[in-house]
């Protein structure tokens, strides 16, 4: 399994600290050493100006390049593309630059605190996409106020991980229906 993750505005490193790491921990816990997992963060500026512009264009290109490179190098990998806040904006932009042939090979997409909440992704079947947005999150409503709800998506890591793993029969998860009721199991 390969996870490409774009952090939110102002977060350190290339996977951040608020959402990415808890998501990865949940993935690892649910896989229970039944398969390997590679994680790659998207290296981009993650500035406020990028967020206000609808996502950093250079970061979106980097993400699209990572998707293409991953699918070329590891054609049989279970690829999950994910992003938090501005990272979710990068997911939208990257998908719009990729061919339908490429996007159809992405197994799952998970977005947290998505400023484009509810907007379809180019070439990605809606059943492969999970968008997690708190109703109290102004960012998910197209606003720019960072309220507490926008900083608490780590609480959804377990649900997001189960969705990302859907279809991996060797970890016992064969459909999205099997993920109901898993909130809070891994925190």
User: Looking at the domain assignment, is residue 157 inside a domain?
Assistant: yes
Question: What's the pLDDT score for residue 170?
Answer: 55
Using an 8 Å Cβ cutoff, are 124 and 94 in contact?
no
User: Looking at the domain assignment, is residue 185 inside a domain?
Assistant: no
Question: What's the pLDDT score for residue 173?
Answer: 54
User: Looking at the domain assignment, is residue 107 inside a domain?
Assistant: yes
User: Looking at the domain assignment, is residue 187 inside a domain?
Assistant: no
Q: Whose CA is closest to 71, among 36, 35, 22, 107?
A: 107
Question: What's the pLDDT score for residue 176?
Answer: 47
Question: What's the pLDDT score for residue 175?
Answer: 45
- pLDDT less than 50: residues of the chain: 174-187
User: Looking at the domain assignment, is residue 117 inside a domain?
Assistant: yes
Question: What ranges make up the beta strands (E) of 17-107?
Answer: 38-41, 79-84
CATH label of the domain that carries residue 63:
3.40.50.1820
User: Looking at the domain assignment, is residue 39 inside a domain?
Assistant: yes
- The total of structural domains in the chain comes to 1
Range of the domain at 127: 2-179
Q: What is the pTM of this model?
A: 0.90
Q: Whose CA is closest to 41, among 74, 8, 77, 76?
A: 8
User: Looking at the domain assignment, is residue 147 inside a domain?
Assistant: yes
The catalytic site residues sit at 85, 137, 150
Q: Whose CA is closest to 43, among 11, 80, 18, 1?
A: 11
Strand order in the sheet with 108-112: 38-41, 2-6, 79-84, 108-112, 129-132
Question: What ranges make up the beta strands (E) of 31-146?
Answer: 38-41, 79-84, 108-112, 129-132
Alpha-carbon distances, residue 77 vs 2, 37, 106, 154 (angstroms)? 6, 9, 9, 25
User: Looking at the domain assignment, is residue 46 inside a domain?
Assistant: yes
Question: What's the pLDDT score for residue 157?
Answer: 97
Question: What's the pLDDT score for residue 166?
Answer: 85
């Amino acid at each position: 399994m390969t996870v490409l993750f774009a952090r939110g505005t102002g977060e350190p490193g290339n996977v951040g600290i608020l959402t990415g790491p808890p998501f990865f921990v949940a993935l690892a816990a649910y896989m229970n050493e039944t398969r390997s997992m590679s994680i790659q963060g998207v290296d981009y500026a993650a500035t406020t100006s990028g967020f206000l512009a609808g996502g950093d264009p250079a970061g979106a290109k980097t993400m699209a390049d990572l998707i293409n490179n991953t699918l070329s190098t590891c054609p049989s990998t279970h690829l999950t593309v994910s992003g938090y806040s501005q990272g979710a904006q990068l997911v939208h932009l990257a998908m719009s630059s990729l061919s339908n042939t490429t996007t159809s090979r992405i197994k799952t997409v998970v977005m947290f605190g998505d400023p484009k909440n509810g907007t379809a992704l180019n070439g990605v079947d809606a059943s492969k996409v999970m968008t997690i947005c708190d109703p109290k999150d102004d960012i998910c409503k197209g606003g720019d106020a960072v309220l507490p709800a926008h900083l608490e998506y780590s609480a959804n890591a377990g649900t997001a991980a189960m969705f990302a793993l859907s279809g991996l029969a060797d970890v016992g998860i064969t459909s999205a229906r099997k993920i109901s009721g898993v909130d809070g199991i891994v925190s």
